[in-house]
Amino acid sequence: ATIMLRSASTAAPWLKLVAFFAVVVPCLMMSFVLEEAAAGTPPWQPWPSGGGDEYPYCLSWRVMVEANNAKGWRTVPPPCVGYVWAYTAWGQYHRDVGGVADQAAAYAAGIAPAADGLDAWVFDVDDTCLSNLLYYQAKQFGAYDPVAFKAWASRGICPGIPAIRQLFWTLRGRGFRVFLVTGRDEETLGAITVANLAAAGFSGYDRLIMRGAGQRGQSAVAFKSAVRRQLVAEEGYRIRGNVGDQWSDLQGDVAGDRVFKVPNPMYFVP
């Protein structure tokens, strides 16, 4: 009897904790839901209602982004912030990235790299190889802040994107040369980016190419076109595939035999 009483006494705090989560937390969640509903559109609702110039369907807006029909936007439309948060956090984003990687791998499987070792692929870094999702979610997908982003990137904790990492190693295993081309500044972020890539599972690439001092004012299209021209015209590489999350990664001169757009409704780089 004594043992039973002690066990019951020990279990009491845990029973109280279970009761708290079973009763109080659902009530708080429901209160939040009702408050959001009273204030307007719940943040996770995919198709917010609204008038004026608001986007009536956030899914349609995201399709326009990926099709490059929505250009020059600085922030996610306010009614769609919750939709984009849910899209990136609840699985569909990662499934879509996986679909792109699968298509790229299937295409690469039909190419036999030549013995000269000049068949190459180009990858962007931010939100192609390394994910900044946590940073953009925390700032509610607001306007690009170069100071805040530099502080985030300087921490070197960006996780690797699993599907792209698998594609990267598949290509390396088949004998393709792989170049990583990023708009990050080499002087201030070079060492930390190398370390971050290694920690995220990206190693053995042929070269990481970053912006130098004389390239800081260039657009992404101009900078990345110049890099690819050098690889092709001066070094003799054949760019078989090009992978990036922005259309500006994939446009311009010598973009490659095929380009693969990784989804990104978080921000737009002209």
Domain of 125 in residue numbering reads as 56-261
Question: For residue 10, what pLDDT band results from cuts at 50, 70 and 90?
Answer: very low
pLDDT, one tens digit per residue, over 209-265 is: 999 988 888 999 999 999 999 999 999 999 999 999 999 999 999 999 999 999 999
- Judged by phi (left if over 0) then psi (alpha if -120 to 50, else beta), residue 143 lies in beta
Q: Which two tokens stand for residue 22?
A: 């079973």
Instruction: Please check whether residue 21 lies inside any domain of the structure.
Output: no
End-to-end CA distance of the chain: 74
Instruction: Please check whether residue 159 lies inside any domain of the structure.
Output: yes
Q: Residue 210's closest CA among 230, 181, 233, 237?
A: 181
Residue 116 has pLDDT above 60, yes or no: yes
Name residue 208's beta-bridge partners. 180
pLDDT, one tens digit per residue, over 22-79 is: 433 343 333 333 233 333 333 434 334 333 344 457 999 999 999 999 989 999 999 9
CB 36 within 8 A of CB 42: yes
Note the pLDDT of residue 2.
37
CB 76 within 8 A of CB 266: yes
Instruction: Please check whether residue 11 lies inside any domain of the structure.
Output: no
Note the pLDDT of residue 56.
58
Note the pLDDT of residue 217.
82
Within 10 angstroms of residue 89's Cβ, the number of other Cβ atoms is 14
pLDDT, one tens digit per residue, over 177-221 is: 999 999 999 999 999 999 999 999 999 999 999 999 888 889 999
Note the pLDDT of residue 114.
97
Note the pLDDT of residue 50.
39
Note the pLDDT of residue 214.
85
Instruction: Please check whether residue 35 lies inside any domain of the structure.
Output: no
Within 10 angstroms of residue 258's Cβ, the number of other Cβ atoms is 17
Note the pLDDT of residue 133.
96
Domain CATH number, residue 115: 3.40.50.1000
Structurally, how many domains does the chain consist of?
1
In the chain, what percentage of residues exceed pLDDT 70? 79
Instruction: Please check whether residue 102 lies inside any domain of the structure.
Output: yes
CB 103 within 8 A of CB 220: no
Instruction: Please check whether residue 20 lies inside any domain of the structure.
Output: no
Within 10 angstroms of residue 41's Cβ, the number of other Cβ atoms is 20
